[in-house]
Chain A
Amino acid sequence: MAANPATKREIKSTTCYMCACRCGINVTVEDGEVRFIQGNPEHPINKGVLCAKGASGIMKQYSPARLSKPLRRKRGVPRGSSEFEEISWEEAFSTISERLQQIRETDPKKFALYTGRDQMQALTGLFAKQFGTPNYAAHGGFCSVNMAAGLIYTIGGSFWEFGGPDLERSRLFVMLGTAEDHHSNPMKIAVAKFKRNGGKFIAVNPVRSGYAAIADEWIPIKPGTDGALLLAIIHEIVALGLYDRDFLLQYTNSPDLVIVNPDSDEYGLFLRSDLEVEQTCIEPANKMWWDRNLNKAVYSHSDAADPRLMGEFELEDGCKVKPAFQLLRERVTQYTPEWAAGVTGIDADTIRRLAHEMGITARDEKIELPIPWTDAWGKEHESVTGNPVSFHAMRGLAAHSNGFQSIRALGILMTILGTIDRPGGFRHKAPFPRPIPPCAKPPSSPEAVQPGAPLEGMPLGFPASPEDLFVDDQGEAVRLDKGFSWEYPLSVHGLMHNAITNAWRGDPYPIDTLMLFMSNMAWNSSMNTGRVRDMLVDKNDDGEYKIPFLIVCDAFHSETIAFADIVLPDTSYLERYDAMSMLDRPISEFEGPVDSVRVPVVPPRGDSRPFQDVLVELATRLKLPRFMNLDGTRKFKDYKDLVINYETEPGSGIGFLAGWRGKGGEKFMRGEPNPNQWEMYAKNNCVYQHELPRSFQYMRNWNRGYLHWAQDHGLIRYTDPVNLHLYSEVLQRFRLAAEGKRKGRQPPDYLRERVRTHFDPLPFYSEPLETQTIDKDKYPLNAITQRPMAMYHSWDSQNAWLRQIHAHNYLFVSPRVGVQNGFADGDWIWVESAHGQVRCMCRFSEAVEPGTVWTWNAIGKASGAWGLDGKANESQKGFLLNHLINEEIPSKRQDYRYSNSDPITGQAAWYDVRVRVYRADDNEPRQSSPQFDTQPRVPGMEPARGKWQAFVKGLTK
């Protein structure tokens, strides 16, 4: 298009942030205004394509919901009334830093920092650690931590950023519990290509929307029963011998002998040899196999060994042992397809057929790539082979209280099919694979928190035994959210969803200041939304708020802003520097590590400032050690400066960005800081991509070349092979402690049964916790949400284009449910759970399992929030399912409640809620319920836009 010659036009590359997918975009800027945003064809993530959200970035940039001034709650007005006055940044900084200074010098854990899906955990985690508070986490706990933990504790990697299905070479692809993914565009690109190549795509989901729409076969499953399906498939595959025996022998702990003497203190632990082994964070390589030929126990992985997978054996000392695989086999005996049919609603023949299709495709369509490689035991292989069956799963499995074990079952199914880091199966992305579990550990005692000092240990990590739990001598939680306590021992992402409730109740202790960034805890990011809003404004008898000080940083006028004491306006993604860092969650590809950056393409709006700069400034004012030079002077000017100059340890050569390290940008992964690193990223589409030699691209858990490379480049500490945990000794350690059979830390007595039940070293199926406590006849339906492809959670209702696509939401129900409950398509109905009720409109759908009702997530908004008119569809016709979901569930201990979460990981069990539905009375208002007072606009927001809006060349008219 011919540009006006007077127009200054530039096309700048940066990275999208309309969701967490992180595609490359080219932004056309004319005279300082954004004109076009297009996918960057040179970018490895999206290869030029762009989703509905990405293409609507302009409407986010110029949204009237943008905040532009630091604000303070007006003196004398109650919190939540959303009455603010503008303050200067200086005033904001001094107010906050004075308060935080005081907290840090007395009791740092009284400061809690919780952030949303922010892609800056490397910095926020560093800030929390340096501040000295353990009370830090991002959104993972209420997102999909089960998916991360369940697979990392099984195969040393997981889906999305950590790894994924190799659809390029797969022949059968099974997607479970995923409508739309964070890994949005790459998944769409890959699925479409997979289908064009003639592969079969099976979607297991209660709802047929999104990806499931184009599946060759849709398996409608009852929510929360995926574990039962997977276990029945494992049952069938094991019973028929459709597993990849060679793979299991060499690369998993299947043949490793487990002590099965019931009265042994080592019951359920691996039989260990007397071999001298280095004690590392990774499990020592001193396990034993039962050799078929010698008919006795031999060292595992010894050259001539030919181990058994099945059977029970007795050692000379009378100790009874079984290979781990035998234990799995025994476990799944009960999980017949007929049994699973009753649980999942999928008929037994279909389950059996699925197992056969997986097993036979894996076995008979073997891939062989002429890539020589050497394994960790020194054996050379002429080629890389693979079994072309792949899986992908997300929150549908994860967001249940039985999710961890369901996902363990998925990991085990992928393992017995022989598909881990092999062509056509699952493949890792750097820095994965990591040891099982990874080496990073949370602090392990209350002494880790000391006034005026950084936290000892990482705020988040991967416990491998009870000794890694963050508990006090009584076994009680040290963290506010009770992460890494016996209640949720493997809560590797924390439990942000309980931070407010716990702080309000003062259990484990009250806090002083809560800082929230980019997370809408007063609305869609909390369960029990109405009650959480009450907690935020609740006061002690002395008139002080139960959560005395609340700082909220966000770019938009969210529901949470209304409850802030201080509001800090964040910038948009087009206005700041960001790093998709190896220290956080990079954008690596199967072929090697990739990281990327955002660079500002337009100046910040009003007085908004990037949250990272705010943190660097606060850290400097608080004189947090890693933010200061040795002489006590300021170390980092801002986040941009920190990203290139920070090293994990002085001289480590590992920093936020992996590319163009070293003084002249000649090194990667490890190297001294490069003052021109930003410019080099900017010149290269904002991406650094390293492609590993082909011989390092597969079998990385056991690939000597890769493991050495990864160690040399600072990805991993140890080069030990990462054998897959078909049997989880880590879980058994917790169970032994709960049974009192293990020395060392013990759970409090009231938690023994809970830990014993759930820390099963083999996957098992149990009903979700909430379901166990309620009357299923009264609440016969499961209620779930899905994220639409054109909306990123709550973010996009302020987007003039995207909100036209999803202006409000309906509850989708099977017509049978309507008939049974006496309402028609489009009627206003009540949805009621044991906890609460919501009035909404229904839409009949045949694409939903009849025992399930569902809606789009977070379309419903509070009146007046997000820069919308008080009468906008989002608040009047839209609704939030969260009101039905309790954030806590009862325990057997009197007056004590657990988080409504997975008892292993603390993953929020969003999808466990059960409901009933009935018609709303004709005389009720045709309006969604509950309603809240209209949230007023705040100072610094632009006035309400008019009736018409035309966007041309960066101008809104």
Chain B
Amino acid sequence: MTQLALVIDLNTCVGCHACVTSCKEWNTSGTAGPMVDRNPYAAEPTGTFFNRVQSFEVGSFPNTQTVHFPKSCLHCEDPPCVPVCPTGASYKRPEDGVVLVDYDKCIGCEYCSWACPYGAREIDEQQKVMKKCTLCVDRIYDQSLPEQERKPVCVLSCPTSARIYGDIHDPESEASKAINDAGGYQLMPEWGTEPANHYLPRRKVKITVHQEDLQRADNPLRKEDRGPRAPSTRTTLDDSTSW
């Protein structure tokens, strides 16, 4: 059974928000749109986004890590938002595991958002229906797009390739391999929601310098001190003996 998902590499995410606005741009004009903004040019601007990048600081100076953390619907394998929906507007597609909202059925009761521990759902405050990441279902099966573009738009736009898309149930997929190779993990695993999206942790590269590395026979400094010596100005045995 297919479970499409995103694998987000925190090791390369620089927090540029490319995924945030490319998502907004594609989806507001796409089939999931519009994504409405309130106070767009006034105080406290706010709006519907399917994806946000947050930043966290880990540790204290000077051992601080700054972690940029993109967050969108995790397309849980056991999505708590789905069974609570009274109308069936919130559903998980059996064929690919994508969790979606049918805007035409949604009554805007917000109950699904209460049930989601991740805060992945945002109601559109003008349209009054619940919205969330669709994994760009209107792209990923669109036969009119070249195959390499049949991916969620956040994945295509990410400048650091920090977003890997694929079927995490297919062990051969790039996403599954990334999870296995780099220790991909789920968010709030204790809740048992089995998020399909995974995150890859920071990985640190170190260079080990051995003291011996600093001592080499070919050290260029030796070229500077081994010049021909000038002749001695004093008499030597060599000058005065002849046995």
Contacts and interface: CB of A to CB of B under 8 A. Distances in A.
A243 B222 CA distance: 12
B67 interface: yes
Interface stretch (B27-35, B81-89, B111-119, B167-175): B27-35
B227 interface: yes
Nearest to B26: A36
Contact of A49 (B24, B39, B157): B157
A944 interface: yes
A56 B45 CA distance: 15
Given A46-B159, A364-B213, 9 more contacts: A38-B22, A189-B161, A356-B213, A360-B213, A846-B59, A846-B64, A945-B40, A950-B37, A954-B29
B14 A214 contact: yes
B1 interface: no
B5 interface: no
A708 interface: no
Contact of B21 (A56, A65, A295): A56
Nearest to B159: A188
B205 A36 contact: no
B205 A216 contact: yes
B242 to A, nearest CB: 30
B227 A295 contact: yes
A192 B12 contact: yes
Nearest to A240: B214
Nearest to A946: B40
Interface stretch (A137-145, A205-213, A446-454, A455-463): A205-213
B138 to A, nearest CB: 5
B205 A950 contact: no
B214 A360 contact: yes
Interface in B57-110: 57, 59-62, 64-68
A899 interface: no
Interface in A219-268: 220, 240-243, 245
Interface string B209-227: 1000110100111111001
Contacts of B228: 293, 295
A210 B38 contact: no
Given A846-B64, A944-B41, A790 B21 contact: yes
Interface of A: 1, 35-39, 41, 46, 48-56, 58, 64-65, 172, 180, 184-185, 188-189, 191-193, 195-196, 198-201, 208-214, 216, 218, 220, 240-243, 245, 292-293, 295, 308-311, 353, 356-357, 360-361, 363-364, 789-790, 798, 800-805, 807, 814, 845-850, 867-869, 871-873, 876, 944-945, 947-954, 957
6 contacts: A188-B160, A311-B227, A360-B207, A789-B14, A790-B20, A801-B24
Interface in B176-232: 202, 204-207, 209, 213-214, 216, 219-224, 227-228
B230 to A, nearest CB: 8
Mostly helix, strand, loop or mixed at chain B's interface? loop
B42 A868 contact: yes
A951 B28 contact: yes
B16 A947 contact: no
Between A790, A798, A850, the greatest number of chain B beta carbons within 10 A of the residue's beta carbon is seen for: A790
Contacts of A954: 29
Nearest to A789: B16
A800 B64 contact: no
Contact of B17 (A201, A364, A805, A846): A805
Contacts of B149: 41
B162 interface: yes
A523 B22 CA distance: 30
Contacts of B66: 208-209, 212-213, 847
Contacts of B47: 800-801, 804
A199 B25 contact: no
Contact of A845 (B57, B138, B207): B57
A845 B61 CA distance: 9
A876 B43 contact: yes
Nearest to A790: B17
A867 B17 CA distance: 23
Nearest to A36: B29
Given A185-B159, A216-B204, A356-B209, A52 B21 contact: yes
B45 A871 contact: no
A357 B209 contact: yes
Given A218-B62, A804-B47, A949-B36, A52 B42 contact: no
A310 B227 CA distance: 11
A51 B16 contact: yes
Given A802-B21, A846-B64, A50 B157 contact: yes
B153 interface: yes
Contact of B61 (A293, A357, A850, A949): A850
B135 to A, nearest CB: 15
Nearest to B154: A55
Contacts of A949: 36-38, 40
A801 to B, nearest CB: 5
Contacts of A191: 12, 14, 160
Nearest to B225: A310
A49 B62 contact: no
Contacts of A53: 21
Nearest to A57: B25
B126 interface: yes
A847 B64 contact: yes
Contacts of A309: 220, 223-224
B15 A213 contact: yes
B14 A188 contact: yes
Given A55-B21, A293-B228, A947-B38, A220 B45 contact: no
A47 to B, nearest CB: 9
A953 B37 contact: no
A360 B216 CA distance: 11
Nearest to A361: B207
Given A211-B14, A218-B64, A356-B209, A869 B34 contact: no
A309 B226 CA distance: 12
A535 B16 CA distance: 37
B28 to A, nearest CB: 5
A39 B156 contact: yes
Contact of A200 (B49, B126, B207): B207
A807 B45 contact: yes
Nearest to B207: A357
Nearest to A307: B223
Contacts of A869: 39, 41-43
A41 B162 contact: no
B15 A789 contact: yes
